[in-house]
Copies of this chain bind each other. A is one copy, B any other.
Amino acid sequence: MTITVVGSIAFDGLETPHGVRERIPGGAAFHFAQAASFFTDVRVVGPVGDDYTDEHMALLATRGTNTDDVERVAGGKTFFWKGKYHDDLNTRDTITTELNVFETFDPKLSQESRDADVLFLANIVPGVQRAVRAQSSPKWAALDSMNLWIDIARDDLVAAIGEVDCLILNDEELQQLTEAPTTYAAAQAVFGWDASPSAIVCKQGSYGAQLFTKDGGGFTVPVFPLDRVVDPTGAGDTFAGGLVGYVAARLAADPSLTVDRDVLASALIHGTATASHNVEDFGSEKLYGLPGSAVQERIERLHELVRLTPAPVDLRA
């Protein structure tokens, strides 16, 4: 079962209380692929510049990720983002954003990428997400976005969201998108649109993540217990990578599977376990050589942490 992912492939400049990286591989599709490749085959679609060397491409191809649809633009420069995190790591300032080759990106998917059974539209301009979606016919598709597109391309984003099975956004973005007073109300508002996904995953940073399904189901995964976080960059994308990777692996085992609340609840566990490794070093540096068994250990730890055997008592009338 193959996942096609479209999104940014980038260089990041990072400053956190734990150190500095001037220019390391990053971008939403890059981080996603590092995580999803633990679970299944991944094909990456997106442009890079001449400055993206074979060495960088080899990192993108970790655990067999296919890079045939990565377009190297002659004379172009790779997307560059530079940010500085505040001491609590919950907030950051963007210092530089250079779109470079993404300014004129017009995605053209190979037949192999079109044929993938699972599609992930990582954060990128909604028009590009829609163009990729239109070229594909996946069994299951998910989408991530960001506040910028809610501000400047809301109609396109709403249309894009209506064309996928699962929306993945963070708390502030979901509330900004709907102007609803609670996260639950925000999810219900999206489910009320003319075209809407059947599931919404709300990322809540150091508080974990919540699942809502259109049929009234839900689940909450805690953040993985860590003593410290080194760099949150890519946490959301590796969470999505583990989540979507898990869904793809389940669909590989049972092609007739319905991706329902129970499947997605487990998917949140797998996404969280994968992302928890990512935040322990800069960029996706910890994931490159990480054995799957290290992710598996954290999946099992999370299973212990969410275990509940109902033990009722009588309440007074």
| A296: chain B residues within 8 A (beta carbon) | 315
Query: What are 12 A-B pairs with beta-carbon distances under 8 A?
Result: A39-B315, A39-B316, A89-B181, A182-B227, A207-B208, A219-B305, A262-B311, A263-B311, A265-B308, A292-B315, A295-B315, A306-B308
How close is A172's CB to chain B, nearest CB, in angstroms?
11
Cβ contact within 8 Å between B206 and A183: yes
Cβ contact within 8 Å between A226 and B312: no
How close is A39's CB to chain B, nearest CB, in angstroms?
6
Mask for A182-205, Cβ within 8 A of B = 1, else 0?
A: 111100100000000000000010
Q: A57: CB under 8 A from chain B?
A: no
| A228: chain B residues within 8 A (beta carbon) | 181-182, 185
Q: A253: CB under 8 A from chain B?
A: yes
Mask for A19-47, Cβ within 8 A of B = 1, else 0?
A: 00000000000000000011100000000
User: Which of B303, B313, B315 contacts A253 (CB under 8 A)?
Assistant: B313
Enumerate A218-245 residues with CB–CB distance to B below 8 Å: 218-222, 225-229
| A304: chain B residues within 8 A (beta carbon) | 217-218
Cβ contact within 8 Å between A312 and B299: yes
Cβ contact within 8 Å between A219 and B39: no
Q: A309: CB under 8 A from chain B?
A: yes
Cβ contact within 8 Å between A317 and B292: yes
Cβ contact within 8 Å between A317 and B293: yes
| A314: chain B residues within 8 A (beta carbon) | 249, 292
Q: A250: CB under 8 A from chain B?
A: yes
Q: A102: CB under 8 A from chain B?
A: no
A253 to B305, CA, bound (A): 26
Q: A291: CB under 8 A from chain B?
A: yes
A295 to B314, CA, bound (A): 11
A38 to B181, CA, bound (A): 29
| A308: chain B residues within 8 A (beta carbon) | 219, 265-266, 269, 303, 306-307
In the complex, residue of chain B having the shortest beta-carbon distance to the beta carbon of A311? B266
How close is A72's CB to chain B, nearest CB, in angstroms?
27
User: Which of B184, B295, B309 contacts A226 (CB under 8 A)?
Assistant: B184
| A253: chain B residues within 8 A (beta carbon) | 313
Q: A210: CB under 8 A from chain B?
A: yes
Cβ contact within 8 Å between B291 and A317: yes
Q: A310: CB under 8 A from chain B?
A: yes
Q: A79: CB under 8 A from chain B?
A: no
Cβ contact within 8 Å between B225 and A222: no
Closest 7 CB pairs of A and B: A292-B315, A220-B222, A184-B225, A249-B313, A207-B207, A218-B305, A185-B227
| A63: chain B residues within 8 A (beta carbon) | 316
Q: A246: CB under 8 A from chain B?
A: yes
Besides the known contacts A208-B220, A219-B307, 11 further A-B residue pairs in the complex with CB atoms under 8 A apart: A63-B316, A182-B206, A182-B225, A184-B226, A185-B227, A207-B207, A220-B221, A220-B222, A265-B307, A292-B314, A306-B306
